[in-house]
Amino acid sequence: MRTIDSTTSLHTAALTDRVKRGDVRAFYRPFAERYPSVRNRFLKVQRAVMFIGAALGFLGVPLLAVGVVLVVSNARADRVVGDLSMVITGLVMIGGGVFFGWFFLRFSTRRGTPKRHYRLSRFATDNGLSYEPGPITGAHVTPWASRGLLTLTRVMRPVSEVSERSIEFANHELRYGVAGTGTAQFGGFCAVRLSTRLPHILLRAQDGPGDRFTLVDLPASSQRLSLEGDFNDYYTLYCPEKYERDALYLFTPDVMARLIDRVRGFDVEIIDDWLFLVSSRDVVTLDPDAWQALYDAVGALSDKIGRWERWRDDRMPAVPRVTTGTDAGTAAVELKPAPRSGRVAKRGRRLRMRLGVGTWIGLIAFALLMVGGVVSMFHQGG
Asked if residue 332 has pLDDT above 60, the reply is no
Tell me the mean pLDDT in the region 237-265: 90
What pLDDT is attached to residue 324? 53
What pLDDT is attached to residue 171? 95
Asked if residue 355 has pLDDT above 70, the reply is no
pLDDT tens-digit profile of 111-162? 678 999 999 999 999 999 999 998 899 999 999 998 889 999 999 999 875 5
What pLDDT is attached to residue 213? 47
What pLDDT is attached to residue 330? 47
Model pTM score: 0.74
Say which range, 166-180, 237-251, 287-301, has the weakest mean pLDDT: 166-180
- Rounded to 5°, the CA angle 190-270-123 comes to 10
- Rounded to 5°, the CA angle 134-167-346 comes to 105
Closest C-alpha to 349, from 233, 243, 262, 234: 243
Asked if residue 377 has pLDDT above 80, the reply is no
What pLDDT is attached to residue 30? 95
C-alpha distances (whole Å) from 228 to each of 225, 237, 240 are: 10, 12, 19
**Domain definitions of the chain by residue range:** 7-127, 129-309
**174 close to 149: Cβ distance less than 8 angstroms:** yes
